[in-house]
Structure 1
Amino acid sequence: MNLTDSNLISAISSEIRRIFGWNVIVSSYVDAPAEYFNRSRGQYILEGILGMASRISSERRDIVLIVADLDAYAGDLNFVFGQAEFNGSAAVVYLERLRPEFYGERGDYSLFTKRVLKEVMHELGHVLGLGHCGNWRCVMHFSNTIMDTDRKGNYDSYYCSRCLDIIRRSSRKIARRV
């Protein structure tokens, strides 16, 4: 699978429309610059890729989500599933560690897609000003492991009622802004 996986792109676009009511424009593929790759770790530094998303969002004046078929880390963290500008306009989701195969499991496209959608909703929640939620079932709960990701976000809306209320208010502000 690569970033031209039309089923995954369609699932992401569809869920963003369903949850937020936003129009989604799928843009072109962007290569991750080599300077953001840490050879000794075999991973990309998160800040570089998030910076790319931020620059694109400034140019386009839109919320930009990069779905990167990469493995990334930040600071002292061994890995990250994603990152977003809090109350900003840029977010990134990294696919590598969302795949069951990464953990030695059999490939499961349905599970992989669910994980990706949960992380997309989590990072867009940060863009809309949501912090981490104490409710372990809410998609805004912090994921330390892939098991945390699998447990959370199993509401129809992904978010608990408290976070969903904040999301709805934030989404209306964004709709007026755009």
Structure 2
Amino acid sequence: MVMIMRICIQPVGDVNDEILKFLKKKFGEVFGMCEILPKIDIPIYAYNFSRGQFNSTLILKSLPTVEDIVLGVTEVDIYADNLNFVFGEAELFGKRALISLARLRPEFYGLPPNKDVLKIRALKEAIHEIGHVLGLIHCENKRCVMSFSNSIIDVDLKDWRYCKKCLKKLQDRGIYISI
């Protein structure tokens, strides 16, 4: 049984269209429905000049609130309080999540660009943050998409799917997805 839910992808600033379309396709397969909303501007007040990064919480709070889950996708480097950076942030049991593509790009680490690597990393972090919106916390299983990623190596090591334990938690809440 697959629960049909709608994920709205919200570009925040200019975002690579190919990545957005890839996420839309995968979310349609996993969650049931997905649409890409018109781009919104990155809130200038979220920029921290001393860090040279954007505050993820402020961007997250700027995302529209709708009936569906909204996943903000941005290209800018983000951080959360007390952390040097984050790949994303979400409202636990909320409606909004955010990912940044900045540190998911191989070129951030001095490597050649690789769209396939970027796509799978973006998918992992997006499904991870949506997991938080659905009420999942970090998982101890390092292969589970809900495992905490402290580095890009952690992102690369985990799968893009929820482990059996996390899937069971979702099912216990009446959430059935196609993974």
TM-score, normalization by structure 2: 0.86
Uncovered stretches (5+) of structure 2, i.e. residues with no partner: 1-12
User: How far did residue 166 of structure 1 move?
Assistant: 2.5
- Aligned with 1:11 (options 17, 22, 31): 22
Going by fraction, where is strand more abundant, 1 or 2?
A: 2
* 1:107 corresponds to: 113
Deviation at 1:7, TM superposition (A): 2.1
Q: Where does structure 1 lack aligned partners over 5 or more consecutive residues?
A: 174-178
Other-structure match for 1:27: 37
Count of residue correspondences: 165
Within the alignment, does 1:36 sit opposite 2:39 as a pair?
Answer: no
Q: 2:165 aligns with which of 158, 162, 167?
A: 162
Give deviations 1:35-90, integer Å, cap 9, x for gaps: 1101111100111101012xx12xx3221110011101111100000000001100
CA RMSD of aligned residues (A): 1.8
Q: AA paired with 2:48?
A: N
1:7 corresponds to which letter in structure 2?
A: E
**Percentage of pairs with the same residue:** 41
Deviation at 1:132, TM superposition (A): 0.3
SS at match of 1:24: strand
Instruction: Name which structure has the greater RCO, CA cutoff 8 Å, separation 6+.
Output: 2
1:152 aligns with 2:155: no
SS at match of 2:24: helix
Alpha-carbon distance in 1 for matches of 2:89, 2:134: 13
Does residue 120 of the first structure (1) align with residue 131 of the second (2)? no
CA shift, 1:172, in A, is 3.7
